[in-house]
A = this chain, B = another copy of it.
Amino acid sequence: MAEIRTNDTRERILDAAERLFMTHGYEGTSMRQITGEASVNLAAVNYHFGSKEALMQEVFRRRLDWLNEERMRVLDEMEAEAAGKPLKPSQIVDGFFGTLLRMAGDEKRGGVTFLRLLGRTLTEPSEFIRAFLAHEYQTVMDRYKEALFKALPEVPKAEIVWRFHFMLGATSYAIAGTDALRLVTDWQIEDEDSTDRLDRLVPRLMSFLLGGLRAPLPQFSDAAAASN
């Protein structure tokens, strides 16, 4: 009696929408595709969620609520243990991006499907979902940036914010494109099966992110003010 058909209509719709939005995007997915895949009546989406937009928000909300709480919990824990001293950058990066990436292995939390949806959505600035994501992320993002400021006091804050941005991009893309865009991965990634590839993605990406975060500061061609 572990996990038998507890799927009610709501969850079947959410699962189908998550998968279809990931594959075809929000605009590219129709309600009839969603209700068809979920084997529910067309009107069920509007009955349970109100609209397609509200469905999209709920798809994100049920995953992001857990993710951001977990990120907060991890950061609280690390800061409590550090007792006021700055955290190591690797700890902070792992708390934010590692927590995200480890969702990929947790099918109960959406697995790779949700991560890819999130990755592609972050570059799709449709107004309503952007506002929603910004609101969901605001608090946890600020906490992690503050932690980075404290961990890297010698780096100008603006630089840290930019590098956080770059790290988000590398991560989104690494997830969204793991097998979507074959541009890069088609060859010379020889003998790793897909679970192996996912397991190894985390340390690979972590190394890259930390290398970028701690890179030498850029030299601007014109000597301008770069205050902290």
Which A residues are closer than 8 A to B by beta carbons? 23-28, 88-90, 119-120, 122-126, 130, 133-134, 137-138, 141, 145, 157-159, 161-174, 176-177, 180-186, 188-192, 196, 199-201, 203-221, 224-228
- Say yes or no: B134 contacts A182, CB within 8 Å: yes
Report the separation of the CA atoms of residues A226 and B211 in the bound assembly, to the nearest whole angstrom.
Answer: 13
- Say yes or no: B208 contacts A123, CB within 8 Å: no
Known contacts A168-B173, A228-B90; A162/B24 CB under 8 A: no
- Say yes or no: A24 contacts B126, CB within 8 Å: yes
- Say yes or no: B181 contacts A130, CB within 8 Å: yes
- Say yes or no: A122 contacts B217, CB within 8 Å: no
- Say yes or no: A162 contacts B227, CB within 8 Å: no
Complex copy number for this chain: 2
Chain B residue nearest to A190 (CB atoms) is B158
- Say yes or no: A170 contacts B166, CB within 8 Å: yes
Task: Name the B residues within 8 Å of A119 (CB-CB).
Answer: 123
- Say yes or no: A209 contacts B212, CB within 8 Å: yes
Q: Supply 9 A–B pairs (Cβ within 8 Å), ascending by A.
A: A90-B225, A119-B123, A123-B124, A157-B188, A158-B188, A166-B174, A207-B218, A208-B215, A211-B211
List of 9 A-B pairs having minimum Cβ-Cβ separation, nearest first: A169-B173, A211-B215, A203-B218, A27-B27, A125-B180, A212-B212, A88-B228, A208-B212, A27-B28
- Say yes or no: A205 contacts B166, CB within 8 Å: yes
- Say yes or no: B161 contacts A185, CB within 8 Å: yes
- Say yes or no: A181 contacts B90, CB within 8 Å: no
Report the separation of the CA atoms of residues A226 and B182 in the bound assembly, to the nearest whole angstrom.
Answer: 21
- Say yes or no: B184 contacts A168, CB within 8 Å: yes
Chain B residue nearest to A228 (CB atoms) is B88
Chain B residue nearest to A157 (CB atoms) is B188
The answer, among B176, B183, B199, B228, for a CB contact under 8 Å with A137, is B183
Known contacts A203-B224, A211-B212; A183/B218 CB under 8 A: no
Q: How far is the CB of A15 from chain B (nearest CB, A)?
A: 20
- Say yes or no: A162 contacts B25, CB within 8 Å: no
